[in-house]
Amino acid sequence: MSRNRHPLFMPLILVGGLIFGFGLGFSHMARPEVVLNFLQFDDFGLLFVMFGAAIVSGIAFAVMPRISDGAPLTGKPFERRLKSFDRNVLIGGAIFGVGWGLSGICPGAAYASLGIGNVTILWALAGMFIGAYLQGRWRSRAVSADSVATGAD
């Protein structure tokens, strides 16, 4: 990221977040119960949210790299979101799955849940920060010691 950001950079991020959060509220993804109902096969609506969103963003990810060299506010080239595959994707995905299945909450939906008045969701937010902190400590240590940590902190 450049130090001299375009003056519209932050306002645009805010507007994007506003639409994103409104959509999560409207779709009821900010309600853990609705996600848990999906996992119980009682209501398949969640599929429309995830794939509806993926199709809309997918069009932009497919079209923009062909018609433009870079984003107007950052100059960053338009690229797709590609992450390298390794077994962490499976291990982390499985751990996330346990959490999602237990609580019905994922990060974006949790922030939106706070917005619709769900103060109880602070428990989930606290849990997420604790989890992210634990893995960050563990992985920082694993990198610096270049060995697998044995402590279960």
Q: Show contacts with another protein in window 90-129 (CB under 8 A).
A: 90-121, 123-129
User: Which residues, numbered 2-21, are part of the site for another protein (CB under 8 A)?
Assistant: 8-10, 12-21
Q: What angle do CA 101, 105, 106 make, to 5 degrees?
A: 105
The number of C-alpha atoms within 13 Å of 54 and in the hemisphere containing its C-beta is 7
| Cβ 140 to another protein shortest distance, Å | 4
Which CB, 87 or 150, lies closer to another protein? 87
Size of the site for another protein (CB under 8 A): 121
Q: CB within 8 A of 81, min separation 6: which ones? A: 61
Q: Does 137 bind another protein (CB under 8 A)?
A: yes
Confirm if 95 and 87 have CB atoms less than 8 A apart: no
Which CB, 80 or 150, lies closer to another protein? 80
Q: Which of 4, 7, 67, 84 binds another protein (CB under 8 A)?
A: 84
Residue 5 φ then ψ, to 5°: -80, 150
Alpha-carbon gap, residue 103 to 124, rounded angstroms: 8
| Cβ 147 to another protein shortest distance, Å | 15
Which CB, 143 or 150, lies closer to another protein? 143
- For residue 24, the tally of other CB atoms under 10 A from its CB is 23
Confirm if 36 and 28 have CB atoms less than 8 A apart: no
Closest CA to 93 of 106, 112, 110, 111: 106
| Cβ 31 to another protein shortest distance, Å | 5
Q: Does 149 bind another protein (CB under 8 A)?
A: no
| Cβ 35 to another protein shortest distance, Å | 8
Binding mask 34-73 for another protein (x = CB under 8 A): x-xx-xxxxxxxxxxxxxxxxxxxxxxx--x-----xxxx
